[in-house]
Structure 1
C-alpha cells in the first residue's frame, strides 16, 4: 500500500527512485505528425474502404485512432468519473478488495515488479478481468458505489467495439470475419492508469517503452498528450482527440499476421 503514488500526492520533489538515467529520459517530440484517425461511422456504407484503411494503417504504424465508434459520451464520462472517485478515496477504502493473496484477480499496484526494478515509473493502475461480466463483477471494487454498474456497462460496449475491429481486421487479412471470435477474444482486461501530478516530468516516465502482448488494446486517453508511438525509428506524439479510442495492435496480432 505504501508503494502507491496516490498515497503520497504531496511530494514536492521527485524521489530518487523515480529518476531515470539521462539516456532513458523522455524526449520532446514535435507534434508535426500523429497516427491516422479512422471514422467507424462509415463502416455500414463503405466497409471495404474502412477495412483497407485499417490494414494499411496497422501495417505502417501498428496504431490508429477511431471516432464515431458507438460508445456513448455519457458512458465515457461516467466511467471516467468513477475512476477518478476510486483513486481519490482514502487508501483504507480502496485496498480491501485487493488483500486476498494469490487468488485475487483484481489488482491495484504501482508497478508489476516494484521490488526488483531499478527505477520506478510514475503511475498507479487498477486492473481486473471484465468478461464475462457476471463471472468477475463481484470481484471488482465495491467503492465508489457506482463503480460496478458503470464498469459493467462500459465493458460490454467496449467488448462490442473490440469484436467489430477484430472482425474488420480478419476480413482484411482474408482469414474470415469470425476468425478472432470465441477462444482468441475470450480473455479481456480493464485497466485504469492514474498519473498523479509530477514534480518534474522531465526526469521520469509513466511507463517505459513496451509492446502489448495481446491482440488489441483499446485506449481512452486523458486530456493531456503523453502517449508516443515508435514509427520507423522516430517517436510520434498521439494527440488525444475528445472521446476517441487509440487502438494498439498487440504483439500476438502483429507477430502472427
Structure 2
C-alpha cells in the first residue's frame, strides 16, 4: 500500500495499522460544537479593546479566531486551492519531496515523523516547508501546481505580518516592549499543510494526535469540513468554522514567556467519512540557540514559573521517557519548583 494516503483510491475500509486501540479512538461520530471560542474583529474602532480581547482569549481559552485580519480573502482561497491541487498531483511528483528527515527544509510525509517505527498511523499526509528568509528557501519549494511559488510566497509574507501584529498586541497587553517577540525567538517560520482523505470509519482512527503546539504561536486556516477539536473541561468539542477567519493558538513557548499567564490548548483532528479536509498552518518558533524563559519584565515582582531552556533541550525530553510526545508533561519538567 502507498505510504501517502493522498495517493489512495477506492478506500473501502480502514487498514489495520490505522485502527487505534479502543481507549484512543474517537468512538462516537457526533461531538458538540463550541460557539464560545472568542471571535475578534481586527476592524474594531478601539485598538486597546482589541488588545484586551486578545489577552483575555490567551488567558481564558487558549485559542481564538480573528476576522478582518488583513489577509486577503482571494489570497486565502487561492492558497487553499493550491494545496488541494498539490495533493492531487501524480505520486511520482510528490515522491520527490517525500522524507522523514525533520531537518529537511521542504518535505511531504504521512502520519507522523516516525512512520516506519510507530505502532499506529494517523490518517493524514503533511506537506511542510520553511518560509523565512524567503530567498533562502523558495527554490526548494514545488514548481507545481503552476504559480505555487508566487501564491504561497505572498501568503507566507501576509500571514507572517499578521502574526507579528498579534504578537505586538500581546506585548502591549503584557507590558512588554514592542518587538519583544521578533528576532531569534521567532526565527523559525514554517508553513505546514495537513490533508485528510475521506475515511470509511472515522470512529476508529485520528487525523492528528492529541497534542499541544510546542512552538511560539500558530495561525490556522481551516476549511468548512469539521475536524479540529479542543479539550475543554475534560470534553472534546469541535471548533466552529467561521468563513474567512483565521485561528490563533498560543504555543508552549508563549506560555513560558508569559510566565504561565497563557493557556495553550490540547487539541486533535478527527476524520470525515465523506469529504477530504485540507488545512494550512503557519508556525513561528525560536532558533535552536535561543534561551526560552519567562520575560524579564514579568518576573520582577513575581516568581519565575519556569527555568530557562532551549528548543533542543525541550525536544530531548519531549521525545523520550514518560513525557514522550506530550508537550504539557514535557513543560512540567522545566517548571521552577520555587
Query: Does TM, scored on the shorter chain, surpass 0.5?
Result: yes
- Equivalent residue number for residue 204 of structure 1: 205
What SS class does the counterpart of residue 167 from structure 1 fall into? helix
Contact 2:66–2:245 (8 Å) recurs in 1: yes
1:114/1:78 Cα in 2 relative to 1: closer, same or farther (>3 Å)? same
Alignment deviations for residues 147-196 of structure 1 (CA, whole Å, 9 cap, x no partner): 11111010000010000010001111111221101221221000111010
Deviation at 1:98, TM superposition (A): 4.4
Structure 1, gaps ≥5 residues long: none
Distance in 1, Cα, partners of 2:151 & 2:178: 30
Distance in 2, Cα, partners of 1:133 & 1:20: 39
More helix by share: 1
Matched, 1:132 2:145: no
1:101/1:136 Cα in 2 relative to 1: closer, same or farther (>3 Å)? same
Deviation at 1:134, TM superposition (A): 1.1
What SS class does the counterpart of residue 48 from structure 1 fall into? helix
Distance in 2, Cα, partners of 1:188 & 1:40: 23
Distance in 2, Cα, partners of 1:101 & 1:157: 28
- Equivalent residue number for residue 62 of structure 1: 62
Distance in 1, Cα, partners of 2:101 & 2:121: 23
Contact 1:34–1:236 (8 Å) recurs in 2: no
1:52/1:99 Cα in 2 relative to 1: closer, same or farther (>3 Å)? closer
Deviation at 1:103, TM superposition (A): 6.7
- Equivalent residue number for residue 81 of structure 1: 81
> What is the aligned-residue RMSD (CA, Å)?
1.8
Matched, 1:13 2:20: no
Contact 2:102–2:113 (8 Å) recurs in 1: no
Deviation at 1:101, TM superposition (A): 7.4
Distance in 1, Cα, partners of 2:218 & 2:34: 25
Alignment deviations for residues 230-255 of structure 1 (CA, whole Å, 9 cap, x no partner): 22323231111111111111011112
- Equivalent residue number for residue 241 of structure 1: 242
> Taking CA–CA contacts closer than 8 Å with sequence separation of 6 or more, which of the two structures ends up with the larger relative contact order?
1
Q: How does 1:92-131 map to 2 (within 5 A)?
A: 92-98=92-98, 104-110=104-110, 111-131=112-132
1:57/1:109 Cα in 2 relative to 1: closer, same or farther (>3 Å)? same
1:34/1:23 Cα in 2 relative to 1: closer, same or farther (>3 Å)? farther
Match of 1:37 among 30, 33, 39: 39
Alignment deviations for residues 79-103 of structure 1 (CA, whole Å, 9 cap, x no partner): 0111111100101122224479787
Contact 2:171–2:177 (8 Å) recurs in 1: yes
- Equivalent residue number for residue 176 of structure 2: 175
Distance in 2, Cα, partners of 1:71 & 1:5: 30
- Equivalent residue number for residue 193 of structure 2: 192
